[in-house]
Each structure stands twice: as structure tokens, then as C-alpha cells.
Amino acid sequence: MGSLLQILLALFISVIGALYLLGSFRRRRAGEPPLDKGPIPWFGHVLEFRKDTAKFLQRMKEKHGDIFTVQLGGFYFHFITDPLSFGSVVKEARTKLDFTKFAEQLVARVFGYNSMEIEHKVLQASSTKHLMGDGLVVMTQAMMSNLQNLMLHSVGSGDDKQWQETGLFTYSYNIVFRAGYLALFGNESVKSTGTLDKAKEIDRQHSDELFKEFRKYDQLFPNLAYGVLGPSEKMEAERLKRLFWSTLSVQKMRSRDNISGWVSDQQQVRDEQGMQEYMQDRFMFLLLWASQGNTGPAAFWLLLYLMKHPDAMNAVKKEVEEILRETGQEVKRGGPLIDLTRDMLLKTPILDSAVEETLRLTAAPVLTRAVLQDLTISMASGQEYKIRKGDRVAVFPYIAVQVDPEVYPDPYTFKYDRFLTPDGSKKTDFYKGGKKLKYYNMPWGAGTTMCPGRFFATNELKQFLFLMLSYFDFELKNPNEEIPGIDIRRWGFGSMQPTKDIQFRYRLRF
Ligand code: HEM
């Protein structure tokens, strides 16, 4: 009898201990946000969150309001849904809210890369130098010549110009990925091929093969990031990782021409820091992922929205034609290729607004920070909330602001001039509850982790569109086909992708 009692007692203590570890005893303390632990111990709401992040957070917002705490896979996440209060997350000192821990774990799992101490500083320095300001002059040229190599080589001109039919998503993603990759990671060496034409041909083949493999990884990515791949998918992800490490290896890079300063500077610092070469190879894959996973899908949405809104298409077309006229360039059969500089791309407020509107509707990152010490979050309403060390603080701007009907009337409709003032300059005043918003559109994130490639990415989108409009006639195969829905498995990772492709055709204009 005594030993049975002992066994029962031990069992009871283990169950209580397990429940404690699973977070079942956490209670909302005075001054903390509303707590919603979810149906399953430790996992909390993770199933619903993963199934459709936007829908889940919308439901929680309606239930709890501007701030709430949910349990997700063992962590307590405090979501802030009031955009007027975003500053308290974005501007909080790194000693209290840190992004590195979270990012380091993710890149270790997804890319097999072990971060170094000065990771973020190096990224910032090389991005400021090469992807912004004057650095963009060189990058714009590189992008331009690679776009032209890929877009113009195989389409017939003159009498044999034929309509080419393909999926718009596949086409846009393919071209923008490949041109961006070649602009950043360099071209085939002319010394080894003998002629520039041959080098360009190899660039076209090699980048196309790389894109096909990248798409396989891209499709596995959401489950890989959540760590829920099945066994065969795991093997495929492993194969792809190795393929990218080898294709982008530092050794192979050494023999390429025109490698961007953004890639070469970062590699050089790692070398100087004594990072082993195999780890540098892994870093190259991380750079490829960060730089090429978002812009192609965004290019698709931009082109599609313009095709579905003829008034928007006409306004953008007029702006593009005006810029070419101003710079004395005419697109004609047998004429020189157009030269589109960084400075020309600074004079496109209508296109800028169309790009911003596209991103508002289709870029949906979750910004997450780890809480390093107990802290207090001050909301715009004046209310203060206590947050515990070890938790996470997160913001999902898509639901919180980007599709809020109070900020953007008719929020799911594409309006190309939403970000234009009546006098044609950039509109930046958007309001909620009568107060002006500082954070009204956040496709690039915000604060220290704000996308360092955003100026280059915007340029890529504009260059792609400029070339499409200047060189091609294009139309949807079925102009009445509806805009496809958003693939909800990718909420939280940046640019969204469509649930299906949509057919279009294009041909040279001359
Ligand atoms: C439409 C295209 C793009 C979108 C929507 C986008 C969006 C984002 C977002 C949301 C983040 C995370 C921000 C955060 O966690 O706070 C990010 C990070 C990053 N992006 Fe982009 N991005 C795009 C294109 C690019 C391009 C073209 C490059 C490089 C050439 C780039 C390089 C990076 C890098 C290196 C990071 C990591 C930053 C860090 O850890 O501090 N992105 N991007």
C-alpha cells in the first residue's frame, strides 16, 4: 500500500512538473496584456497560427484589442496590433528587445549557418555602401544589363515576332531572380569563355538552372522554417542546401566577373575574421535567399495589378514614356538598348506609388524580438503593460495597419495613386483614430532589422517594369480571370505568393 502511494505521489509530481514546464500554470499577472494560452499545453495556438496567421491574429485582435499574449510552441508572444504603438517595439533598446537570437536560430536551422558576433554590423555597413545612395548607381547598371540579356535574347523581332505564352508568376519571378542573382553574384568570366556572347549565354543557362532549384527550396521553406518537414522533404531540403553551398561556393565565386561589392565585401570580412570557407559558402546561400526570395513575387503582383487596372497601367506608361523622352531615348527596331540610370528612377512618383500599393497588399512579414529583461511597453493610449523576460514581442503589420479600413478605405482594392498627394508628390500622411501614423506601411519591416536591400529591390521592380513597358506588348490570356488568392502558408515571411499562376502573353513591340 505504502509503495503504491509512493508511486502515485511520484506520478503526481511528474505530471505537475511536466505541466509546469509546458507553461500550463502561467497566469496573467496584474499589469500584463490579456493572456490566451490556447488549446494545447506548450503548443498553445500554434496549429491555428500556422494554418492562417492573418486570420488567427485578426481573430485575436477582435477578441483582445491592441495587445495580447498567446502561447506558440513553448513561447509566450505579445502581439501589438495598434500601429500607433509600434514605436515602443521598433525603438526599444537592443539590451531589452533583441532580434539576433531569433534570427541566429532561424539561419542555423534553415541555412546551416553559424552567425558571427559582428554579423549585423557588417551587413549594415556593406548594404549602406552598395545598396543605397551612390552605391546604387553601379547596382542599377549591373541589374539593367543582366535584365536585358535575359529578357531580349530569345524573342523574335520584325516579321517573326510571335506571342509567347507563359505563367505570369513564373515569368516575373524567373527574370527578376536571375537578373538580381547575376547583378549581385557576378557573371561568367569572359576570360574563361573567350567571348562576351558565350559568357552571356552561360549566364542565361546557369541562372535558369539555379532558379529551378531555388524554387524547390522556396516551396519547402515555410515548413522548413517551422521545423515540420516530413522525412522525404527533409532529405530534399538537405540535397538542395548542399547544392547551393557548392554552386555559390567562395572558390567558384573567385572565378566570376563583376561580383558586387555587397557580396565580395561581406565575404572578405568573414575571411579576415577567420571564418572557415565551408561556413562562408553557407553564408552565400543565406545572401542569395535574402536577396532573391521576395522581389520576383513582388514583380508578379505589380505587373498583374497594373494589367487588371487599365487606368493605373496608362498612368505608369505615360510616366515611363515621359522619362525616356526627356532623356532623348527612343525604343525602336535595331536602335540602341535603353539606358536606365539610378537618377532616372528617382523621378517616378506614380510608379513609386504603384509599387508601394503593391507591397501594402502583398508583403506581410512578422517582426519578432526576444525579451532580454523584464520591461514595460507603453501604448499610444497611455496604457502600460508589463512584459516578462524570456517572452517574445511581435508585430504583424499586415493586419495591424496595411489592410485596416480606417487607414486605407476599401483596403483590398489596388489603387495605384494611394500614395500620391493631389500635387503628385509622395503621400505620407495616413491616420488612425485622428492621429497621424508614423508606421503606415511596413513591407520592409522596421528599426534595426529593416530590409537593407529595400532601395535596390524597389529599383529592380521599377527596372523590370520599365523594360516590360518599353520593349513588349503584353496582356492576360483571359483578361476576365480573377486575381489569384494569396498562399496563406507563407504569412510572416515577406512577399506573399499566389495560390496559382495566371497565364499571359507577350511579344516584342518592334
Ligand atoms: C520586394 C522585395 C523585398 C521585401 C518585401 C523584403 C522584405 C524584408 C523584410 C520584411 C525583412 C525583415 C525585416 C525585419 O525582420 O525587421 C528583410 C530583411 C532582409 N532583407 Fe529584404 N526584402 C526585399 C528585397 C531584398 C533585397 C533585394 C535584398 C538584397 C539585395 C534584401 C536583403 C535583406 C537582408 C540581408 C535582410 C536581413 C536584415 C537583417 O538581418 O538585419 N531584401 N527584407
Nearest-angstrom CA–CA distance, 415 and 311: 10
CA of 102 relative to ligand 1 center, distance in Å: 15
Domain of 27, in residue numbers: 1-81
pLDDT score, position 57: 97
Work out which ligand 1 atom sits closest to the CA atom of 184. 30
Nearest-angstrom CA–CA distance, 121 and 232: 37
505 is in an annotated binding site: no
- Rounded to 10°, the helix 349-362/454-471 angle is 110
Work out which ligand 1 atom sits closest to the CA atom of 365. 10
- Per the domain annotation, does 336 fall within a domain? yes
CA of 207 relative to ligand 1 center, distance in Å: 21
pLDDT score, position 91: 87
Main-chain phi, psi angles of 379, to 5 degrees: -90, 160
- Per the domain annotation, does 91 fall within a domain? no
Other beta carbons within 10 angstroms of residue 157's beta carbon come to: 14
Work out which ligand 1 atom sits closest to the CA atom of 180. 27
254 is in an annotated binding site: no
CA of 294 relative to ligand 1 center, distance in Å: 8
Q: Residue whose CA is closest, atom 22 of ligand 1?
A: 451
- Per the domain annotation, does 96 fall within a domain? no
pLDDT score, position 14: 59
- Per the domain annotation, does 217 fall within a domain? yes
Whether residue 462 is found in the same domain as residue 354: yes
Instruction: State whether residue 450 is helix, strand or coil.
Output: coil
Domain count, the chain: 2
CA of 297 relative to ligand 1 center, distance in Å: 14
Q: 395 pairs with which residues across the strands?
A: 367
Q: Residue whose CA is closest, atom 20 of ligand 1?
A: 451
CA of 156 relative to ligand 1 center, distance in Å: 36
Whether residue 350 is found in the same domain as residue 487: yes
Work out which ligand 1 atom sits closest to the CA atom of 449. 41
Whether residue 43 is found in the same domain as residue 172: no
Strands 503-508 and 472-476, how do they pair?
antiparallel
Work out which ligand 1 atom sits closest to the CA atom of 287. 35
Work out which ligand 1 atom sits closest to the CA atom of 131. 30
Q: Is residue 362 within 8 Å of residue 496, measured between CB atoms?
A: yes
pLDDT score, position 3: 66
Whether residue 147 is found in the same domain as residue 198: yes
Q: Is residue 406 within 8 Å of residue 129, measured between CB atoms?
A: no
Q: Helical H runs in 186-260?
A: 190-193, 196-225, 231-247, 250-253
Q: Any idea what DSSP says for residue 401?
A: I
Whether residue 156 is found in the same domain as residue 35: no
Whether residue 367 is found in the same domain as residue 324: yes
- Per the domain annotation, does 322 fall within a domain? yes
Strands 367-371 and 97-98, how do they pair?
antiparallel
Nearest to 100 by CA among 88, 124, 78, 116: 116
Nearest-angstrom CA–CA distance, 200 and 155: 16
Whether residue 254 is found in the same domain as residue 326: yes
Whether residue 191 is found in the same domain as residue 232: yes
The set of cell numbers assigned to 200 is: 552571356
Q: Any idea what DSSP says for residue 435?
A: E
Sign of CA dihedral 40, 45, 50, 52: positive
Whether residue 62 is found in the same domain as residue 177: no
451 is in an annotated binding site: yes
Q: Ligand 1, from 294, 360, 451: best to mutate by most atoms within 8 Å of Cβ?
A: 451
pLDDT tens series, the chain, 510 aa: 566 666 656 655 555 555 555 566 799 999 999 999 999 999 999 999 999 999 999 999 999 999 999 999 999 999 999 999 999 889 888 889 998 887 888 899 889 999 998 999 999 999 999 999 999 999 999 999 999 999 998 766 666 678 999 999 999 999 999 999 999 999 999 999 999 999 999 999 999 999 999 999 999 999 998 888 999 999 999 999 999 999 999 999 999 999 999 999 999 999 999 999 999 999 999 999 999 999 999 999 999 999 999 999 999 999 999 999 999 988 887 778 888 898 899 999 999 999 999 999 999 999 999 999 999 999 999 999 999 999 999 999 999 999 999 999 999 999 999 999 999 999 999 999 999 999 999 999 999 889 999 999 999 999 999 999 999 999 999 999 999 999 999 999 999 999 999 999 999 988
Instruction: State whether residue 303 is helix, strand or coil.
Output: helix
The length of the chain, given as a count of residues: 510
Which element (helix H / strand E) includes 130? helix 119-130
Main-chain phi, psi angles of 363, to 5 degrees: -110, 125
Interface confidence (ipTM) of the complex: 0.98
Q: Is residue 502 within 8 Å of residue 167, measured between CB atoms?
A: yes
Whether residue 34 is found in the same domain as residue 143: no
CA of 456 relative to ligand 1 center, distance in Å: 10
Q: Is residue 397 within 8 Å of residue 437, measured between CB atoms?
A: no
Domain with residue 479: its CATH number is 1.10.630.10
**Which residue, 81, 101, 128, sits at the end of a domain?**
81
CA of 107 relative to ligand 1 center, distance in Å: 14
Q: 376 pairs with which residues across the strands?
A: 386
Give ligand 1 pocket residues (Cβ under 6 A): 103, 120, 123, 131, 290-291, 294-295, 298, 363, 365, 367, 443-445, 449-453, 456-457, 494-495
Q: 384 pairs with which residues across the strands?
A: 378
pLDDT score, position 334: 74
Q: 35 pairs with which residues across the strands?
A: 69
Which element (helix H / strand E) includes 184? helix 168-185
Task: List Cβ neighbours of 232 (8 Å cut-off, separation of 6 or more).
Answer: none
The set of cell numbers assigned to 336 is: 540602341
Nearest-angstrom CA–CA distance, 443 and 481: 27
Nearest-angstrom CA–CA distance, 268 and 277: 11
Map grid coordinates 497560427 to a residue: 49
Q: Is residue 19 within 8 Å of residue 37, measured between CB atoms?
A: no
Other beta carbons within 10 angstroms of residue 256's beta carbon come to: 18
Q: Is residue 313 within 8 Å of residue 473, measured between CB atoms?
A: no
109 is in an annotated binding site: yes
